[in-house]
Structure 1
């Protein structure tokens, strides 16, 4: 599973200028100014991830050297500021190069160069209020996520699941599970060994792509919570995943699973998830409901439910 990094990046004028320079816009790392600043290995790394010769970049100062050494390609970054997650990206190349960093951002007066440079394989602007993260299991209301923070594995999984972020490593793991089964079926071989199914594909390579962040489910839940007048919605972590909503009721509780569409695929997924919760024994004396996005005549999203 990838690490998840919370990266403050929009809270002051200097940070917002950096954002405009290297997140709103891509940087040509092959031009006559920046190309000579890269070492051969750094240039090769960037070309491998970004064969088009340009990329989005971010950086961290020397105060974050030890944290940055923990990161790898494919790790997920939540870019935060002004009480929101404002962008989500996946890391591509990582290296330490003060001259290259200074060519993009200059140096910070107090902390020096942003020399821990990383490129982004994907980047998606979003507007996710901190309250959505606070509502996830394991997070505290009022946490303003000051300073660069690497989440522990449990919280990382919670954020990826709870915010609906699909990562490349997740897609890789799915492919690595499917390929041996498909090969066995094609060749009519015997049962595939379980350990083989868990072996990551060595041919998989991270590439530039559009990051997928599913937000419709969150909007459906917000609409339902607003209809009920609930002040602090709760979500539960279970062995089967994180519920989209858990409501305490006088005669029990309600467990909600939201899906972004009402097609057969999503109805089946919601039913399967709710049954998983039942197996996990969290829905005793609970009502289970699914909420689905529906395309009306005006193409606005409306709400459907079943129990």
Structure 2
């Protein structure tokens, strides 16, 4: 797995202008038909049939080798001003010096940003650079040094921190036309032995949450049998300190296993300051999720919110909740 860390310091006026005009506003292909070769244009239109995409790029030279490692579907994270502030996925890669010069001009060394990305969705977040560096195993708290491709376990850790999808497919053939591949059947016995860690505090957390609640889901408010109420961490356990994990009255909530636990875990819903439930505009992409949200969650206020739990809900809002930029 790979994640590209892209420098984009929005406090820098030219960078902000570029970000606004080619990321937030998108680039319309019709405006640049004179510079797009037929193969690249056909691929872009296949992925973006509405004729527009977000675009970003890096300069040639030392960056080219790192850029060439990337593939469609790889996540990207925009960093600047000591924080990670936006997330997306690579939909296509191509090199086009003339288009890059038209979109962004040239840098102080006279280089165009030739190595280009067409990007899919855009999600805004606000994650301090210190948390990003810890996730990828870097010491210190300084800014991310330029264009960086993170791979392997550090990339997995960062994806978990920011709730990044890692298996998006932008292959040449439409998904509906690809024959399903057969799953490999493991050789030998299907049971095996594995050493693993376990969550020593989890039983105590569930017991304490049952004592504090009324047997209802903290999000939808519906009553469920105990086995259908999950002791869910508001802030992901892997990102908690030992003291936070032991903060049994505030770190968790009971969320139902029939929808709310997964929707919260994957950022489709969140909890705002004061307890009002937030609904991600990512629910627009699925009619079934939207119907579930409309029936059980929209316009609700969670009674589980308190000022002492707010720091954990705020962590979820700024890292996990999927607030997509306007399409």
The alignment's TM-score, normalised by the length of structure 2, stands at 0.57
Structure 1 runs (4+) deviating above 4 angstroms are: 253-261, 265-269, 292-301
Matches within 5 A, 1:170-185: none
Q: 2:240 aligns with which of 238, 245, 261?
A: 245
Structure 2 segments unaligned to the other structure (5+ residues): 188-232, 263-269, 278-299, 313-327
- Structure 2 vs 1, CA of residues 16 and 137 (structure 1 numbering), >3 Å: closer, same or farther? closer
1:262 counterpart residue number? 255
Indicate whether 1:78 and 2:69 are aligned: no
Matched-pair contact (CA < 8 Å) for 1:247–1:254: yes
- Structure 2 vs 1, CA of residues 113 and 193 (structure 1 numbering), >3 Å: closer, same or farther? closer
Matched-pair contact (CA < 8 Å) for 1:62–1:111: no
Cα deviation 1:49-72 (Å, max 9, x = unaligned)? 111110100011113111111111
The alignment's TM-score, normalised by the length of structure 1, stands at 0.61
- Structure 2 vs 1, CA of residues 36 and 162 (structure 1 numbering), >3 Å: closer, same or farther? same
In structure 1, distance between residues paired with 2:304 and 2:110: 47
Structure 1 segments unaligned to the other structure (5+ residues): 182-191, 197-218, 222-234, 236-241, 270-291
Matched-pair contact (CA < 8 Å) for 2:78–2:84: yes
**Cα shift at 1:295:** 6.2
Secondary structure in structure 2 of the residue aligned to 1:17: helix
**Cα shift at 1:136:** 2.9
- Structure 2 vs 1, CA of residues 55 and 259 (structure 1 numbering), >3 Å: closer, same or farther? farther
Matched-pair contact (CA < 8 Å) for 2:84–2:132: no
Q: Aligned-residue CA RMSD in angstroms?
A: 3.9
2:151 counterpart residue number? 152
Give the count of matched residue pairs.
Answer: 221
Larger displacement relative to structure 2 (139-148 or 16-25): 139-148
Q: 1:56 aligns with which of 45, 50, 54?
A: 54
